[in-house]
Amino acid sequence: MNVVIAGGHGQIALRLSRLLAARGDTVLGIIRNPAHAGDVRAAGAGPVVCDLETARVEEVADAVTGADAVVFAAGAGPGSGAARKDTVDRAASVLLADAAERAGVRDFVQISAMGAGDPPRPGRDDVWAAYIKAKGEAEDDLRARGGLDWLILRPGRLTDDPGTGRVALAEPPIGSGPVTRDDVAAVVAELLAAPGVRHRTLDLLNGDVPIEHAVAALG
């Protein structure tokens, strides 16, 4: 399988690249900063320098042409303001989806966030509200597309603890809680190999079910 990951230097993306490369898939990681190319190569992926905040759809379509699937794992990241939540977490996802349709790549997996599109909880700041709004609008854009076999994955609170290999994975709501980045990457890898699980929005937490069984139960 040929997979292109947007946000290729992100923590989940690098973990996913290692998993996919280890099973023999060909992986490209779209990155904004050329200085990150070495890390992407070390994870087993080929770096493609393309700034999704400024690129034209034709450029991104060139980057994904020939792929079997694309994964949107990009995010503005901590410390960014409300404006970049929109330009990265929403607009870059829309751009990648436009490019995938133009290039004839149907399989699109979006890593979103639990609670996307919901009103922010009391006490959250304006940046968090912008983030949840942007993620929700990116999800809505995907759901409206007839040219993509989309899948939206909403992890809970991300941690850097070692992966457990066990999760709770189902359509929302499933509650709240943590999930390791290792396990998120492992779930995405398993979902990419399960093309029958599409046109679904799934919440993800750590839980009791082995990942391969959790994905198989969705089919």
Give me the torsion for CA of 141, 127, 30, 146, rounded to 10°.
0
In sequence order, what E strands does the chain have?
2-6, 26-31, 46-49, 69-72, 107-111, 149-155, 157-159, 166-170, 178-180, 200-206, 209-210
84 is catalytic: no
User: In DSSP terms, which residues pair with 69 in a beta bridge?
Assistant: 3, 107
Tell me if 111 sits within 8 A of 155, measured CB to CB. yes
- How many residues in the chain? 219
Radius of gyration (Cα) for the chain, nearest Å? 16
The active-site residue out of 72, 108, 131, 150 is 131
Active-site annotation, residues: 131
